Amino acid sequence: MSSLIGKRCIISGGSRGIGLAIARLFAAEGAACTLIGRNMESLTSAKASLEQKHDSQKHDTTPFDVSLVNGWEKLVANTKGENADILVNAAGISQNSFLFKASTPEIDELVATNLMSTIWSCKYIIPKMMKQRNGCIINVSSLLATHGGRGSSVYAASKAGIIGLTRALAWEVGRFGIRANVLLPGYIQTDMTKGMDNNGELSALIPMGRLGLADEVAEAALFLAKCSYAHNCVLNIDGGLSAT
Ligand SMILES: NC(=O)c1ccc[n+]([C@@H]2O[C@H](COP(=O)([O-])OP(=O)(O)OC[C@H]3O[C@@H](n4cnc5c(N)ncnc54)[C@H](OP(=O)(O)O)[C@@H]3O)[C@@H](O)[C@H]2O)c1
């Protein structure tokens, strides 16, 4: 298992929920984190919550809309000469509407935020990793990508795209010392799932009898970051929901 001390970790969606839990755990393991989100206030308080174990561990924030390619171009241009050791793509939005009812802008926004952002970040950060001959990509998909779900057609399609992207990348970049893996969380307690389990009906469907915690997803991400032979993993972290 390799250490995260001295590693630079770029985390989209690092201001809240799963992305922030990953940032907190990676920072506690010694990584310097760059947090990305749209809201400067939540980025600032997220950064303040990260542990700093040594002086060279400099956390920072970069506010931009991850669905726009120029945000990624700028990030890479502004960090020329700096390493990008770990890329976590956790920014995402969800959907709860049937495809035939969803508006074109809603569909565009969902695909751009969940899938295109992951494509753009990988496209622009992989060349940095190739120069280093080292890197680790952790993309956050969803159990709905493989299982579908009522009212989640576009979301499921965007998340299935992330699995396809990650698996193809694993083949393309492995020879450059870059590992690519994907997490498939089930239902996790964050802003995204607020109010979904008020009467316990959702918990009742999950073999472990409860929603997962963002910290539990972060532990799975840490395994992927540290295990030097973890490559092309498609890792369910769903309390057993995929077994039902
Ligand atoms: N919670 C679950 O049950 C669950 C299950 C499976 C998969 N997932 C996936 O896990 C990831 C994290 O979800 P979460 O539950 O932690 O959600 P969350 O608490 O709602 O957090 C979403 C994060 O994404 C950022 N974000 C959203 N749109 C963005 C944009 N256009 N540009 C930049 N940042 C953006 C948000 O920051 P700002 O809003 O400030 O921009 C925030 O940091 C998502 O990809 C989600 O699809 C979640």
- Residue 53, domain CATH: 3.40.50.720
Spatial distance between the Cα atoms of 18 and 39, rounded to a whole number of angstroms: 16
| CA–centroid distance, residue 234 to ligand 1 (Å) | 19
CA-nearest residue for atom 36, ligand 1, is 13
Tokens at residue 41, please? 């206030």
Residue 2 lies in a domain: no
Q: Which residues line ligand 1 (CB under 6 A)?
A: 12-13, 15-19, 36-39, 42, 65-67, 90-94, 113, 140, 142, 185, 187-188, 190-193
Residue 21 lies in a domain: yes
Atom of ligand 1 nearest to the CA of 211: 3
Residue 63 to residues 15, 71, 160, Cα–Cα distance (Å):
10, 9, 26
Residue 34 lies in a domain: yes
| CA–centroid distance, residue 175 to ligand 1 (Å) | 31
Bigger pLDDT: 88 vs 3: 88
pLDDT of residue 203: 98
pLDDT of residue 20: 98
pLDDT of residue 109: 98
| CA–centroid distance, residue 96 to ligand 1 (Å) | 15
Read off the pLDDT of each residue in 42-60 and give the average, rounded to a whole number: 95
User: What's the domain range around 32?
Assistant: 8-243
Check pLDDT > 70 for residue 89.
yes
Residue 3 lies in a domain: no
Q: Answer yes or no: are the C-beta atoms of 22 and 14 closer than 8 Å.
A: yes
- CA Rg, the chain, in Å? 17
Residue 86 lies in a domain: yes
Question: Tokens 């669905």 appear where?
Answer: 67
Q: What would the pLDDT profile of 128-151 be if each residue is shown by its tens digit?
A: 999 999 999 999 999 999 999 999
Ligand 1 pocket test, pick from 18, 34, 116, 208 with the greatest ligand atom count within 8 Å of Cβ, gives 18
pLDDT of residue 58: 95
Q: What would the pLDDT profile of 144-180 be if each residue is shown by its tens digit?
A: 999 999 999 999 999 999 999 999 999 999 999 999 9
Residue 1 lies in a domain: no
Overall domain count for the chain: 1
pLDDT of residue 92: 98
CA-nearest residue for atom 37, ligand 1, is 37
| CA–centroid distance, residue 17 to ligand 1 (Å) | 7
Atom of ligand 1 nearest to the CA of 212: 3
Spatial distance between the Cα atoms of 5 and 28, rounded to a whole number of angstroms: 9
Q: What would the pLDDT profile of 104-134 be if each residue is shown by its tens digit?
A: 999 999 999 999 999 999 999 999 999 999 9
Read off the pLDDT of each residue in 80-86 and give the average, rounded to a whole number: 94
Tokens at residue 216, please? 């539990």
Q: What would the pLDDT profile of 201-222 be if each residue is shown by its tens digit?
A: 999 999 999 999 999 999 999 9
Residue 120 lies in a domain: yes
pLDDT of residue 2: 75
Active site residue 229: no
Q: What would the pLDDT profile of 17-46 be if each residue is shown by its tens digit?
A: 999 999 999 999 999 999 999 999 999 999
* Helix (H) or strand (E) segment spanning residue 126: helix 117-132
